Structure 1
Amino acid sequence: MAGKKTYDYFEALLGLSKFSLQAAELLKKTISDFQVSTLEEKIREMHNIEHSADIAKHDMIEHLVKEFLPPIEREDIISVAQQIDDVTDAVEDVLMCIGMFNVKKIRPEILKFTETIEACCKSMYVGVEELRYFRRSKKLHAEVVEVNRLEEEGDALYINGVKDLYKNPTDAVDLMVWTEVYRKLEKCCDACEDVANEIESIVMKNS
């Protein structure tokens, strides 16, 4: 009789980070070809990604509750899983914010921000992929550093973007809307950095 297949937590975490990357790719695609007529459809598509990520996270936690000896500490698995989930949530929040405020036209500099978020999620994905091999990985440290660099790039985009908003404000509502959108964009990069920092902490604890 074949033995029971062991649940692969590293693969599960990678699956969660894949949802984050899919969300970031959808955000960039939506912003780069922004159409009000299809926005609700894109928001639903984004929500489906986020909902699938939630189901996958809960499935992983159910396995973890019953696990006798996980590959790394339970608290670390739960923490990094939640932080990856926070990335997906943060990306969804951007699109929901744009829809909620009935945005009709995208500021051109927003596309650069979505490109940075996508790059951040790609580096995070590789970092999670390499976590399985953290004792011998030649990529892991470089990806953590890259996420940190991209988060700093996101900070600069946020500061400069909001600064430009307030240089010559003409519409108070427009100002409020884009200040909030910028805040949510910046939160995406912060969430990716949280994952990278957690991965770095796990490596230190287990080395």
Structure 2
Amino acid sequence: MARQKDAFYFDGFRRGADYACQAAKLLSEVMHDFNPDQLRERMDSMHALEKAADGVRHDMMDELVTAFITPFDREDIDELGRVLDDVTDSIEGVLNRMYYDNVTDMRDDAVQMSDMVVRATESIRELVDELPRFRRSKTLRELVFAINNIETEADHLFIESMRTLHTTCTDPLQVFAWHDVYRHLEQCSDDCERVANTIDSIVMKNS
């Protein structure tokens, strides 16, 4: 059982992971039922999640400044809080790029990539739930590997999606727009993997 004085940080990590999950689900919903006329409204909803996630990180950093004892190194707490926040930031970035680049039609491979982000964030939430008992957890390393595997899948899909885009799309503006969106979707998966690797590093240093 985590010590009571550590609970603030573990709760903050959980909240950060939960906002990432909510953002990923919102992105997936937008892509599965795409309506460009609703994109601006969905961006506002996404920004509210991103702002809330920022608030969680700021609260944790404020506490960290004055804390005497922490569950692990201050630098690691700061890093994990940052990379969790990066996930939500990156997911918001996908919607922003779709709006900036005036995407009007959805592509199937982009929908698949958004679903991978949902899977990765759900695994992150499970991983963060295991963090308070990392010394005894039987599933923590499995979750790290699962997120790594999702990122590998996303990389492969990104490569094939970019090739399909450049070999089948004749509209240069659409090529530019989707090149941008695909890269931001890939960044989401990369950031999810960074969370998993950060937690893995923390566990290794404290076991």
TM-score (norm 1): 0.96
C-alpha contact (below 8 Å) 1:144/1:196 kept by paired residues: yes
Q: Distance in 2 between matches of 1:144 and 1:7?
A: 22
C-alpha contact (below 8 Å) 2:21/2:125 kept by paired residues: yes
Q: Distance in 2 between matches of 1:130 and 1:88?
A: 20
1:169 Cα deviation after fit: 3.5
Q: Given the superposition, is the C-alpha separation of residues 181 and 80 from structure 1 closer, same or farther in structure 2, using an over 3 Å criterion?
A: same
Name whichever structure is richer in helix by fraction.
Answer: 2
C-alpha contact (below 8 Å) 2:6/2:70 kept by paired residues: no
In structure 2, what is the equivalent of residue 32 of structure 1?
A: 32
The one-letter code matched in structure 2 to 1:202 is: I
Q: C-alpha root-mean-square deviation of aligned residues, in Å?
A: 1.3
In structure 2, runs of 5+ residues without a counterpart are none
In structure 1, what is the equivalent of residue 125 of structure 2?
A: 125
In structure 1, what is the equivalent of residue 102 of structure 2?
A: 102
C-alpha contact (below 8 Å) 1:162/1:179 kept by paired residues: yes
SS at 2:135 equivalent: coil
C-alpha contact (below 8 Å) 2:6/2:71 kept by paired residues: no
In structure 1, what is the equivalent of residue 195 of structure 2?
A: 195
The one-letter code matched in structure 1 to 2:180 is: E
C-alpha contact (below 8 Å) 1:7/1:63 kept by paired residues: no
The one-letter code matched in structure 2 to 1:58 is: H
1:6 Cα deviation after fit: 6.5
Runs of 4+ displaced beyond 6 Å:
none
The one-letter code matched in structure 2 to 1:84 is: L
In structure 1, runs of 5+ residues without a counterpart are none
In structure 2, what is the equivalent of residue 89 of structure 1?
A: 89
Matches within 5 A, 1:47-126: 47-126=47-126
Number of residue pairs the alignment of both structures matches: 204
In structure 1, what is the equivalent of residue 142 of structure 2?
A: 142
Q: Given the superposition, is the C-alpha separation of residues 159 and 6 from structure 1 closer, same or farther in structure 2, using an over 3 Å criterion?
A: closer
SS at 1:167 equivalent: helix
